Amino acid sequence: MRIVNFNSAAIRLPGTIEMFSHRNRDAVRMFTGTAGGVYQETKIIMLDLVFSFSCFAILGWILEVAYRSSCAGRFVNPGLLKGPYLILYGAGALILMEAAALLKAAAAGLAVKTLVYFTATTGLELLSGIIVQRLFHAHLWDYSDQCFHYKGHICLKFSLYWIVLAFAFEYLVMPPYRVLLWHLDPVIKGVFAGVVLSFILVDLLAAFLRTFFRMTPEERPVAYAEFRDAATPVLALPDVARLSQYPHHLEKTRLDHVKEVAHLSFLLGRRLSLDCNAIIRGALLHDLFFYDWLREGPRLHGFRHHTIALNNARRITCLSQKEEDIIIKHMWPLTVVPPRYPESLVVSLVDTYCSTRDYLCLDRQNKTGKTADGCAGPAAGEKLI
């Protein structure tokens, strides 16, 4: 969208400079021709861009909430994300700013403007609809019941609305917004944009994960049966059941911990089409040691307990090469040698995630290993170490 030609030391950003950099034109002139000047100006432009994106993502959310809630007669939170922002509006505002500035520079007439606004807004809506459908398997809007629609993503009526909104944006929103940009301190802009963007990124990541792990109602019982069939024989081993006597992370017992790691690793492995039987068995056995590691046991527990767990596991069950690798590599990268199988990497990552989360207390309700309920084995057996 914006081209910075570092080689010629001239900034070729007509739209951007027009929209964002009136206050800094003197600085631009002063700096033009120096690498530092180009860098400084690029920084200013980027700051205004991310600030504008954040602002209009929030304002767009307010607009959508007002429209959808009034139509539905109740509060409706639009969009895929949980927070009060819509990426589509943030991106749309940046595109319209650039388009408006370029059209002004080209002294374009009303017909050309209308065509450009139609293409920009409807194109963005179509692209967003397709991306959300492909990546998140969701329809955030559906124009199927409207005349002249394309696959429910776009329709003539709303395209006309967008054109009107684009003109309103140019003539009603942009003038006061320019004044706001002029007066706002860069630090305030930076902090605001940083906070909003951070929330958006975390929210987006959470949405990806929700989609990734989501199961259909038909899938759920199949997955549960798959997990139960692989986990029950291991949990029935007396020495695995004994893990419930040892604290592991804060209020969690070691049995809770291994069940949780096994369950999450299974879900991830299932999505990645990995060997889930090995993942479940290896994860349930990955911390098979019998001491309170915070108060007793060998020195350098973190570097040694995977070997102890492997030896204990070998004594109570027959392990495949993959299961052995899962247990012995579960502390990677602390133990340097990388996992040999993707299943080992999955368990190692999930184990790290669960441990970190336990200590950050991000999931206080989930302290009892409820993920594997119904698979609990019998009580204690003999001590192995």
Residue numbers at the binding site for Fe ion (CB under 5 A): 287, 351
CA distance 290 to 201: 41
CA distance 170 to 45: 19
- Measured from the CB atom, the residue of 325 and 351 that comes closer to Fe ion is 351
In angstroms, give the least distance from the CB of 330 to Fe ion.
6
110-136 and 186-213 helices cross at what angle (nearest 10)? 40
Angle at 149 between CA 145 and CA 152, to 5 degrees: 65
> Distances from the Cα of 147 to the Cαs of 21, 154, 163, 320, in angstroms?
43, 10, 17, 61
> Distances from the Cα of 197 to the Cαs of 43, 46, 174, in angstroms?
17, 13, 22
In angstroms, give the least distance from the CB of 353 to Fe ion.
10
Confirm if 235 and 376 have CB atoms less than 8 A apart.
Answer: yes
- Measured from the CB atom, the residue of 343 and 351 that comes closer to Fe ion is 351
Confirm if 285 and 317 have CB atoms less than 8 A apart.
Answer: yes
At residue 4, the 3 state secondary structure works out as strand
In angstroms, give the least distance from the CB of 236 to Fe ion.
21
- Measured from the CB atom, the residue of 207 and 375 that comes closer to Fe ion is 375
In angstroms, give the least distance from the CB of 356 to Fe ion.
11
In angstroms, give the least distance from the CB of 302 to Fe ion.
8
- Measured from the CB atom, the residue of 68 and 304 that comes closer to Fe ion is 304
Token pair 């592991």 is at which residue?
Answer: 248
Judge if the upstream peptide bond of residue 221 is cis by omega within 30 degrees of 0: no
- Measured from the CB atom, the residue of 81 and 328 that comes closer to Fe ion is 328
- Measured from the CB atom, the residue of 79 and 339 that comes closer to Fe ion is 339
- Measured from the CB atom, the residue of 5 and 368 that comes closer to Fe ion is 368
In angstroms, give the least distance from the CB of 276 to Fe ion.
18
Radius of gyration of the CA atoms of the chain, in A: 28
In angstroms, give the least distance from the CB of 150 to Fe ion.
51
CA distance 284 to 107: 69
